[in-house]
Structure 1
Amino acid sequence: MQETRSIVVGYDGSEPAATAVRWAAAQASLRKVPLHVVHCTLWPLLTKNLGPVPGVADSGLQHAAELTLQQGVEHAQQAAPGVEILTSLLSGSPAAHLPRISAGQEMLVLGSRGLGGFMGLLVGSVSLEMAATAACPVAVVKQGEDPDGPVMVAVDDPASPALEDACRAAAVAGAGLVIIHVRTVPAGYRLVRDPVDPGAAAEELLEAAVAKARELAPGITVDRQLLTDTSVPRALLQAARGSRLLVVGTKGHGVIRGSIGSTAHAVLHHAKGPVLVSRRQPASVHGDPQPDR
């Protein structure tokens, strides 16, 4: 009998990670799956002195790591009290553990760490690497956009895994779905004076995607948008204003560590709300650590 897939979320004690845990817990509740909260600590790699300081209660690096994990659990419980929660406290880098733990799971959820100013738009390196190499869909969560808005998905193929993930996200949330296709034109093209004919191919692609969405999720409202721009990411980001989730595919296959499709890369950096990157690589690593229960 196949085990129920879980939503895996990384937690490091930061506010962006807390936001990710709360979002992941809500998703686990909607999808009726367990939530697996993972905290990775580097201290065991740096020192053997993990125990409590003599005479000082609740001290020590190991206790601090356990407390951080418990805080993550508390964030999840507050967001979704009835969700089953699994936990793992691991030694090492999140980039080393999260791909193995999340392989084949429902979703991997991560926060986005900003540095302020323009750099605050940029997604953290771990989140970017996981979006490029994980073997399951990866959600990078930022606060913003409309939590009650529609799910939006970018498609360039009606058979795209991104469309499947978007249909599921919309169905479990009882939200509408907006399918977007961007037709690009050369930079400098006079869009106002010489508008571009979207063409039969683009119209047919959208019609096929809408039909597929209605087949996958018959109960949801499906709309479509055909956009024309010199930049696909720019068009998607503008269209996604007011959405609850933007779903994109990726043409990057992780051949180069940290690589990702250019559209997904740009959207992850500059989106104002949650982004789900669809990935369907098969799990190939076994012997992963089992979660505590």
Structure 2
Amino acid sequence: MHEPKTIVVGYDGSVEAAQAVRWAAEQAALRSCPLHLVHCSLWPLLTNDLGPVPGVVDSGLERSAQVTLEEGLAQAKHAAPEVEVRTSVLYGWPSVYLPKISAGEEMLVVGSRGLGGFTGLLVGSVSLEMAATAACPVAVIRSDEHPDGPVVVAIDSSGSPAALEDACTAAAVTGANLIIVHVQHAPTGYRLLRDPVDIHPAAEALLDSALSTARDLTPGTTVQSQLLTNTSVPRGILNASQGARLTVVGTKGHGLIKGTIGSTAHAVLHHAKGPMLISRRSTTGQNYQEEL
């Protein structure tokens, strides 16, 4: 019997990270899997003086890291008391450790501070880096305001099988409806119709296939599809996902520079306001845990 995969969540003491921990704990409860709460401390990179201050209780940078982890654990237990939680304090950059720890796991969950410096860009650098480098699905959580709407998954011309599978799982465990969206790109100036009469047969066939697959994977879930036309594919996805409890997209590429998660996923990740899941998968069988 295989042990259940783990949901890994990073916690740095911020409000956004606390929101991510609570969401991750709730998902762990729904999926009947353990939670791994990780805090990465950078202080050892800056100083060797980590010990307590003589005569001061609970002082010192090492203790501070442990206190931060305990705060994260309290958040997880408050959200889902029944979930088994493992905790780790690691010394180094989260961009190094989180992808290694989460490789091949159920998902990696991170909060987003949205400190990119550009108006309207809501995703932070750590969230973007995890979405570009992790070897498992990556959930980016921005607030505690999660609508009770459907799970929305965007598929491209490939059918986005990983994203579709992840969306089916999310819909099944939450009891939400599932909406499968495919956006056809139209040149600027194209007359956009709410119900286009010139739907391409290939797009119809793509959605029919995705509908059939989703209904097989989640027989108790209400599944619908939407074929949209927009001059911007990301904009079409964002419009369709308003009010969604989770938006799921696939990804392309394996690096960290802009565009390596795919231009559409990159744009949606930057501008989505609700919880979002980037469907990544490990491309090797390497056990990154052995390196820690």
| TM-score category, normalised to shorter length | over 0.9
Distance 2:290 2:257 in 1: 24
CA displacement 1:171-198 (0-9 Å, x = unmatched): 0111110000001111122335995611
Counterpart of 1:108 in structure 2 is 108
Equivalent residue of 1:287, what SS?
A: helix
Distance 1:203 1:12 in 2: 45
CA contact (8 A) 1:9 1:110 kept: yes
- TM, length-normalised to structure 2: 0.93
CA displacement 1:138-170 (0-9 Å, x = unmatched): 000112764311100001233621000000000
CA contact (8 A) 1:7 1:28 kept: yes
CA, structure 1 residues 104+55, in 2 after alignment: closer, same or farther (shift >3 Å)?
Answer: same
Distance 1:239 1:144 in 2: 21
CA contact (8 A) 2:179 2:225 kept: yes
Q: Structure 2: 5+ residue runs without aligned partners?
A: none
Counterpart of 2:186 in structure 1 is 185
Summarize the alignment of residues 105-254 of structure 1 with structure 2, pairs less than 5 Å apart.
105-115=105-115, 119=119, 121-143=121-143, 146-156=146-156, 157-158=158-159, 160-191=161-192, 197-254=198-255
Counterpart of 1:87 in structure 2 is 87
CA contact (8 A) 1:176 1:220 kept: yes
CA contact (8 A) 1:145 1:241 kept: no
Equivalent residue of 1:269, what SS?
A: helix
Distance 2:289 2:160 in 1: 29
- Per-residue deviation at 1:287? 1.1
- Percent identical among aligned pairs is 66
CA contact (8 A) 1:177 1:222 kept: yes
Equivalent residue of 1:280, what SS?
A: coil
Q: Structure 1: 5+ residue runs without aligned partners?
A: none
CA, structure 1 residues 94+51, in 2 after alignment: closer, same or farther (shift >3 Å)?
Answer: same
CA contact (8 A) 1:103 1:283 kept: no
CA displacement 1:70-125 (0-9 Å, x = unmatched): 10000000000100000110000000101110000000000011249954633111
- Per-residue deviation at 1:256? 5.3
CA contact (8 A) 1:50 1:60 kept: yes
| Aligned partner letter, 2:27 | Q
Counterpart of 1:275 in structure 2 is 276
- TM, length-normalised to structure 1: 0.93
